[in-house]
Amino acid sequence: MFRWLGALAPGRRPAITAATWRQVREIDALAPQMETLDDVALKRLGRSLSYRAKAGEPLDSLLVETFAATREAGRRRLGMRHYDVQLLAGSALVKGAIAEMQTGEGKTLVATLPLVLYALAGKGAHLATVNDYLARRDAEWMTPIFEALGLKVGIVESQMDFDARRQAYACDVTYGTAKEFGFDFLKDRLIKRQLDEGNRDLGATLTGGSATGSAKLLQRPFWFSLVDEADNVLIDEARTPLIIASPPGEAQAVEQALFRYAALAATSLEPDDDFEQDVQKQTCELLGRGRSRVRAFDRPPELESISLLEIYDAVERALRARRFFGRDRQYVVRDGKIVIIDEFTGRAAEGRTWKDGLHQAVEAKEEIEVTVASGHAARITIQDLFARWPHLAGMTGTIATSAGEISRTYDVAVAVVPTNKPAIRQRLPAMVCADQAEKFDRIVAETAEMHGLGRPVLIGTRSIDKSEELSRRLEAAGLSHVVLNARHIVKEAEIVSQAGQLGQITVSTNMAGRGTDIKLGEGVSEIGGLHVICTELHDSARIDRQLVGRCGRQGDPGTWRQYVALDDDILIQGFGPKRAKRIAAGIRGRLGGNPEPLLRTFKRAQQRIEARHRRQRRILEYVERQRNEAHIQMSQDPYLDSPS
């Protein structure tokens, strides 16, 4: 009934065992007793459990009673009683596992189980998710359960002041984003350093405390963190650095001039003649003719002191920004700023910037203000941040295929939790098309057919521009629909929640794969449920699985179909331009036959990209480890840059 990937986490006990099932039966046996308690008695029980935890009683011995009380609080306050499989997932999380739960299996409700148990000790339990909206939504939704047991809930959001943050961290349970937890950690580290150096006024300024009194830290020592969408946070974003920048120096005008000059020079250079590009590595390198042309360009006076080598590097960055970073794909321009689009979630990654001058190169390309890279007052990666919690667990719909990497990096087990009801979604034969135009024509035709039956259709795309191109084609065909991408973030939950209604058509980027449940409208089950169309393969198979998982939730009926085309980006990214061209020519002669062998070629390209990304993460992990060791030697603090 369940599977555990124990071989991929050496030295760790399985997260779901026969003993876990015995605990579930014991929790079930307590249900009649819990139902006899009135609200006051239930809250008194919660406080009694907290007293025992604070007195040093092991949490394992409190698990059965705590889970039973939490389950009763959910039934009583929200009308949501944890299923047995949700209790299994909760137990796995308590043991420090990453639990894979299929879409629609109730991860938000499951989270209350380990959060309550760890909160009993009075040291604070954190839930880290990917954006402020989800943090507030889940916290407000689940607060009645925590309050029924006498626990307080806090929410940390990006626009909160210091006093509100301190109050949120002082609560028994705190919801927030990984980014906010990380930046608040860095602020506390800066304060500690400044106070150690005797600069009490600066410490007070950073934390909003008194200039003459002791500055207050924002956070308590870390105890337990539960990471929602764990694959995105702990793998995709693991090496993303969180940085508190130092003020820019006097070289600002020179750097801005260099980026603008490089962007202009890049527009007149020709591929193959002036520079070589590596599509797979996404790099550009100037050739001899290109360097000669760059030297011949008129340079502004600000660059008189800049060496040719620096100018070549800047032009190569500008070429990379022009060739591989497209508007409405990798980023959008919003209020005169570059906002990165997270390739794995499809959401706007507010506050994130590309490193090594690439962000500034994109700004120069778009002819907006160039934000000069500044020094780092404090810095930490997501991976290093979560390594600091003594107790770490996570939830996601797709982690099994990355179990080896996450087990090696975080020393956690991976538990694949069985579904409450058997999944009955059906996969329809794949479609392999000659080009994007043919693919979109077929998708529009299939959408019209499903819409004619009254079935809701969810169409997943890789980028904003493709979602909008498909939207134009649907509009031309007279098919009413809604579009969900990073331009419509405010209405995300509303759009996704309606995607299962009768006759609804939704075109979405990766955003539709996470965060909000798609429930079927009245009568939709009887006509086949939600139909999902995958318009191409993503760089990671996990993203494809997330999209497919939107249909067939909780035993609902549903179907899905995978579309690919010979000019899809994945072939070029996986095999390189020349080999991809040969492979596409070979496939072209076999179109119209069995699509499955042809689809396997696209899958191999995807696997090559995934392997390359894993290697890159391992290299970055090694570099970060070396950097931390160097800082330990210099300052005995691997998370703060030494003061200049």
Supply the pLDDT for residue 5. 32
Taking the whole predicted model, whether its pTM rises above 0.85 is answered as: no
Judged against a pLDDT cut of 90, whether residue 65 lies above it is answered with yes
Give pLDDT, residue 9. Answer: 37
pLDDT at 510: 72
| Position 248 pLDDT exceeds 70 | no
The residue among 474 and 370 whose pLDDT is bigger is: 474
What φ, ψ does residue 413 adopt, rounded to 5°?
Answer: -85, 165
The overall average pLDDT reported for the chain is 85
**pLDDT given for residue 476 in this prediction:** 96
d(CA 511, CA 492): 8
- Residue 285, pLDDT score: 92
User: Hey, is 177 helix, strand or coil?
Assistant: strand
- 235 pLDDT more than 80: yes
Residue 629 has what pLDDT?
Answer: 66
| SS3 letters across 597-627 | HHHHHHHHHHHHHHHHHHHHHHHHHHHHHHH
Which positions ≥6 away from 34 have C-beta within 8 Å? 42, 68, 69, 71, 72
Quickly state the pLDDT bin for 246 (edges 50, 70, 90): low
**What domains sit in the chain, N to C, each tagged with a CATH number?**
3-245+381-416 (3.40.50.300), 252-374 (3.90.1440.10), 426-565 (3.40.50.300)
Of the candidates 411, 439, 308, which has an alpha carbon nearest to the alpha carbon of residue 96? 411
**Alpha helices, DSSP H only, in 36-172?**
39-54, 59-78, 84-94, 107-110, 112-119, 132-148, 162-170
pLDDT in tens, 303-357: 887 888 889 999 999 999 999 998 888 888 888 888 888 766 677 777 678 878 8
Mean local confidence (pLDDT), 88-111: 91
CA distances from 210 to 191, 199, 204, 205, 565 (A): 13, 12, 5, 8, 63
Q: Are 135 and 168 in contact (CB under 8 A)?
A: no
Range among 114-123, 537-546, 623-632 with highest mean pLDDT value:
114-123
pLDDT of residue 624: 67
| CA 105 centroid distance within chain | 19
pLDDT at 404 over 50: yes
Task: Pick the closest to residue 31 from 70, 86, 89 (CA basis).
Answer: 70
Q: Taking the alpha carbons of 231, 236, 241, 242 in that order, is the dihedral positive or negative?
A: negative
Of the candidates 190, 194, 184, the residue with the CA atom closest to the CA atom of residue 219: 184
Report the distance separating Cα 46 and Cα 146, nearest Å.
9
484 in Cβ contact with 463 (< 8 Å): no
b (16+ CB within 10 A) / e for 267-294:
eebeeeebbebebeeebbebbeebbebb
When pLDDT is cut at 50, 70 and 90, the band that residue 640 belongs to is very low
Total length of the chain: 644
Degrees (nearest 5) of the Cα angle 45, 50, 55? 125
Q: What is the pLDDT of residues 438-495, one digit of tens each?
A: 999 999 999 999 999 999 999 999 888 898 999 999 999 999 999 887 765 657 777 8
Report in angstroms the alpha-carbon separations of 593 from 58, 436, 438, 572, 590: 62, 19, 16, 23, 6
pLDDT recorded at residue 15: 61
Rounded Cα distance, 385 and 605, in Å: 33
Of 257, 252, 255, 259, the closest CA to residue 319 belongs to 259
Structure confidence by residue, pLDDT tens digits, 277-313: 988 788 899 999 999 999 988 888 888 878 888 899 9
